Amino acid sequence: MSSNHLHGNLGPGLLQEVAPKVFSYVQPDGTWFINNTGFVVGENAVVSIDTTSTELRNRAYLDAIASVTDLPVTLLINTHHHADHTHGNYLFSDATIISHTTCRSVMMATGIPDYRAAFPGVEWGNLRFRAPDITFEGSTTVHLDDLAIELFDLGQVAHTDGDVLAWLPERGVLFTGDLIFHGGTPFALFGSVQGTLDALDTIEKKGAEVIIPGHGPTFGGHEIKKVLDAQRAYLRFVQETAENGINSARTPIEQASVTDLGEFGRLTDTERLAGNLHVAYREHPEADYEWVGFENAIGDMIAFNGGALPRCLA
Ligand SMILES: [Zn+2]
């Protein structure tokens, strides 16, 4: 399926006012390059958290904002450098863009990555590169009228090097970026398995009422502990699987091939196991492991799929 058939059988992005003037935009089905965004409407301006992957998807997101308000988006927050969250930056022409310092550095080094080989069915559109304008490390606060939007990093590598979360304390709303894949397989290839586990503790301590994850449905209240525990269970499973592989002198792909995913087989994008294992091997103190590079790790994900490219419906 290509973007010519925007949304296809997946349905359009779901716009929801999760708290007064705070909106989530959740794109089904949350798989590769189909991420979430959100925005906050002030008296004179709008703040957006992230953009999305293809030109058409970004234009649909802008339409969703316009269905709520005529006000311009004057500030755009990038939660991390990944293309699905930043490709639309150039379409927010009224916005100043803010990100973590490392997020911007990575974007400047990579530009718009060429995904045509790995994701040949996707029509990305006429994308243009735009990097963040303002960067920070640690934390900073955006003030939208009298509403605070607290931006903070984790002090360590987690989903990526340079993750930023957006927390609205007066509304109890937390945007986590890809530290959470709700219903999908967590993906730590560009970051750290242990760092993502630690990030989940940070997220839990915020005491949010509503969480907008990077992919998959928004959740809140009593669901929060359940979703966070499910993410933890998967990441610990990756660590235990790596431990087994190291003890059995198997390479990550050899270990992935003999692993029963069990309950985690129900998550989408299961081939991420092969990539995640490379990171868990790298992080294991006793592993005799040499990092193979992203291309080879992604090659292992394709091998795990029996040679099929990851299924991408963006
Ligand atoms: Zn990501």
Q: Which domain holds residue 71?
A: 3-234
Please list, residue by residue across 157-171, b when 16 or more beta carbons sit within 10 angstroms of its beta carbon and e when fewer do: bbbbbbbbbbbbeeb
φ, ψ for residue 191 (rounded to 5)? -145, -125
pTM of the model: 0.97
> Which of 211, 234, 257 corresponds to the end of one domain?
234
Kindly state whether residues 141 and 269 are assigned to the same domain: no
| Burial classification of residue 107, based on how many CB atoms lie within 10 Å of its CB (0-12 exposed, 13-18 middle, 19 or more buried) | buried
Of the candidates 103, 86, 204, the residue with the CA atom closest to the CA atom of residue 160: 103
Domain boundary residue, one of 234, 251, 280: 234
Q: Do 124 and 219 share a domain, yes or no?
A: yes
In this structure, is residue 312 part of a structural domain? no
- On whether both 228 and 248 belong to a single domain, the answer is no
CATH number at residue 220: 3.60.15.10
Question: Last residue of a domain, which of 234, 250, 270?
Answer: 234
How far, in Å, from the CA of 120 to the mean position of ligand 1? 19
Q: Does any domain span residue 217?
A: yes
CA of 142 relative to ligand 1 center, distance in Å: 23
Statement: residue 4 has pLDDT above 50: no
Give the largest Cα separation in the chain, rounded: 61
110 CA to middle of ligand 1, Å? Answer: 15
Same domain as 29, residue 14: yes
219 and 298 share a domain?
no
C-alpha 186 to ligand 1 mean position (Å): 9
Residue 313 lies in a domain: no
139 to 12, 89, 155: CA distances (angstroms): 34, 22, 10
Per-residue model confidence as pLDDT tens digits over 124-170: 999 999 999 999 999 999 999 999 999 999 999 999 999 999 999 99
Residues 138 and 202 placed together within one structural domain of the fold: yes
- Ligand 1 centre and the CA of 254: distance in Å? 26
Tens of pLDDT along 269-302?
A: 999 999 999 999 999 999 999 999 999 999 999 9
| Residue 26 domain-assigned (yes or no) | yes
What pLDDT shows up at residue 1? 40
User: How many domains in the chain?
Assistant: 2
Residue list, CB under 5 A from ion ligand 1? 82, 178
pLDDT 10s digits, 230-276: 999 999 999 999 999 999 999 999 999 999 999 999 999 999 999 99
What spacing in Å lies between the alpha carbon of 275 and ligand 1's midpoint?
Answer: 14
Please check whether residues 222 and 294 belong to one and the same domain: no
Q: Is the pLDDT of residue 10 over 50?
A: yes
Tokens standing for 15?
Answer: 């716009």
| 221 belongs to a structural domain | yes
